[in-house]
Amino acid sequence: MTETPPISMHSEVLRVWGYDTLRPMQQQAIECGIELRDCLTVLPTGGGKSLCYQVPPLLTKKATIVVSPLIALMRDQVRGLELLGYKAAAMHSGIEHDEATDIAKQLLTGDLDLVFAAPERVVTPQFKTLIGLLCDHDRLGNIAVDEAHCISQWGHDFRPEYRRISELRKVAPNVAMQAFTATATPRVRNDIINQLGLRDPEIMVGVFDRPNLTYRVQARENTAEQIQYAVERHRSSGDGGGTIVYCLSRKDTEKVADELRALGLDADAYHAGLDVSTRHNIEQAFSNETLDVVVATVAFGMGIDRSNVRLVVHACMPKSIEAYQQETGRAGRDGLAAECLLLYSPSDGGRWERLIERSAGETGTDPTAQIQLVRDMRRFVASFSCRHAFLSEHFGQEYTPPEGKTGCGACDVCLGETAAEEDAKRIGQIILSAVARTGERFGAAHICDVVRGGKSEKIRGYGHDELGVHGLLEHRRRAEVMSFIDQLVAAGALTRVVEDRFETLAFGECGISVMKGIDSVTLAKPIGTGSEKSERNRRTRASRVNDDRPMNDRERALFEKLRELRKQIATEGGFPPYLVFNDATLREMVHAMPTTRHEMLGVKGIGQAKLDAYGEDFLAAITGTVEQAENTNG
Ligand code: ADP
Ligand code: ZN
């Protein structure tokens, strides 16, 4: 799927970044930047948006200004570029006046190729003057707007200050503007184009599927133990990366972190209620790989760029597929295999809908759109069809399984971790007739009680204990029955109706025919928690996508040694380890075992500047190992 870029672009990308191929869409987006044309690039998190705005200045010899809300990341981004020998700087409220003047001078003299700036900064009179000057001297090529969905109320992260960015068009009418985002809905896309005033923009939408991620959805039974199990599974396979656990509330993060610590994991809670320095310390520790498990609210992640997150757990169903895609997007950014585990309880959906309705009631807004997003997510968890296919289709893209396979090989359903319920037909009929007999006026919890033979006052009061369906599923666990109800909703046999804040079940399109046994539904029950067999499958499959085959003992020892070296260099330099080399590059070193500078340059992710800076150290570490191995063998 990768393409060979034209020679000059190609040679720059290879020389500076050490990448021999560009990802889908990267080439087109870079071409727009070089030709100074407006464009909108939609790539999923980890898709490689940064390269799209970083490459053009090297070829046009004109600077790019990158508008970004991620001030916390700017320092590391600049640092990372400097390590590549790339001339970049950042302008935000945290820098001194003198420093800002220096940056302006360097932009004018052509000593800087790229400057990151906060949205509120770029619309100040001083900054506009600077942009005017740069234009007069023909020094400015592009203005890149990162996280461009922040401009839209329909996005998940609206920031009013983004609305003013379009003012720059008046100051710099001849400068091209390029927008980047990971949010793909057409509404947000149109908003971006209109609000920024993009001119005849080229629109590029990348592939949303992330083949290196394995998706699992499991009934939430014992959160901490389920998480521990998954963490250990990754640890024992030598992945050695980070884990992020997302919870709905601050209280939940504390509770789960406590439980994980009690189980012997080194975990910290993170949420917006902690003071700034505590939060900063946790972010640092996670980036620097001294802390591997963070239990957080969704506030965590905006300031985090660690590329070797191997596991993202949702301890509760997220509120939309968009949010899920973004949060799971933080796993496996280095392209190596990673897992996304969603622990859900059928009550999660209702909890979200109530929260949304309450807040809509307070602000007087219409909750319909948000509720629809929750419903889509409920369908995702309940559908027991291929997760990769479901997600791709949600983003309007057809999913094609890897060659020669019928399933994706990287989700609980395709890995055979869910089993079909043999009794599906009868169960469907029982639940549907319970809904019919009770007059389509009750919610899932009550219907569940009825078929499980509950004797509560409510049941007796309505005489529901006298119905023929009462108790027909009494041997089924409550969670199971609730999941069946969810699946019937996902299949269209039932629908949820909200009235007076109460959610009731009614017949869906195919309800009657399922109840009469004309149509059949497939129901599934979740089993197991990632058996060893499926784990092996996952790895074999992922290894076709990337150099990610399991390491033997010698390789693992070398990998650890190189990670240690990376950490040491990073600590001395005062920046996070992933800025030295990411895990994918280290793995390639382990497998290729380069022994010369030239061979080292052949490893993906090693460009000229990094070869000069760290090549000798890593070669020494590798050849040390080679000699050791030869001595042992000889
Ligand atoms: P995004 O901003 O879209 O979330 P990034 O720009 O941070 O993604 O890129 C994600 C990861 O992919 C980074 O580790 C980056 O080094 C890597 N990457 C980007 N482009 C390529 C490429 N052409 N070949 C290999 N790795 C790449
Ligand atoms: Zn699948």
pLDDT value of position 188: 85
**Rg of the chain's alpha carbons, rounded to an integer?**
27
DSSP alpha helix (H) spans, 400-516: 424-437, 444-451, 457-461, 478-490, 511-515
Nearest to 367 by CA among 533, 504, 498, 482: 498
Instruction: Write down the pLDDT at residue 626.
Output: 66
In this predicted structure, what is the pLDDT of residue 472?
A: 95
Neighbours of 515 (CB within 10 A): 19
* β partners of residue 38: none
Collapse the DSSP code of 47 into the 3-class scheme (helix H, G, I; strand E, B; otherwise coil) and give the result.
coil
Q: Which atom of ligand 1 is nearest to the CA of 47?
A: 3
Ligand 2 geometric centre to CA of 220 (Å):
21
Atom of ligand 1 nearest to the CA of 2: 23
For residue 406, the CA-to-ligand 2 centroid distance in Å is 9
| Furthest-apart CA atoms within the chain: distance in Å | 87
- Determine the pLDDT at residue 342: 96
- d(CA 282, CA 436) in angstroms, rounded, equals 53
pLDDT for the residue numbered 187: 81
Question: Which residues in the chain come in under a pLDDT of 50?
Answer: 528-546, 634
Residue 236, amino acid:
S
pTM (two decimals): 0.74
pLDDT of residue 134: 96
CATH of domain 420-526: 1.10.10.10
The partner residues of 524 in beta bridges, in order of sequence, read 420
How far, in Å, from the CA of 52 to the mean position of ligand 1? 10
d(CA 545, CA 542): 5
User: Which pLDDT belongs to residue 442?
Assistant: 94
Q: Tell me the C-alpha distance between 384 and 364, whole Å.
A: 36
Q: Do domains 7-205 and 213-399 have the same CATH topology?
A: yes
Residues across the chain: 634
Contact 113, 45 (CB under 8 A): no
Instruction: Check residue 585 and give its pLDDT.
Output: 92
Alpha helices in 574-607 (DSSP H): 583-592, 597-601
Residue type, 355: L
Q: Locate the ligand 1 atom nearest the alpha carbon of residue 13 and give its number.
A: 23
| Strands 140-145 and 309-314, sheet pairing | unpaired
User: CA end-to-end span of the chain, whole Å?
Assistant: 44
Out of 1.10.150.80, 1.25.40.10, 3.10.100.10, 2.60.120.260, the CATH code matching 552-633 is 1.10.150.80
The domain locations on the chain are 7-205, 213-399, 420-526, 552-633
Decide yes or no: CATH 3.40.50.300 for domain 213-399: yes
pLDDT the model gives residue 542 = 44
CA of 391 to the centre of ligand 2 (A): 10
Cβ atoms of residues 577 and 307 within 8 Å: no
Please report the pLDDT score of residue 349 as a whole number: 86
Pick from 258, 64, 68, 95: which is nearest to 162 by CA? Answer: 68
φ, ψ of residue 351 to 5 degrees: the values are: -60, -45
Please list every protein residue whose CB sits less than 6 Å from any atom of ligand 1.
19, 21-23, 26, 43, 45-51, 307, 333-334, 582, 604
Question: For the structural domain made of 7-205, what CATH number should be given?
Answer: 3.40.50.300
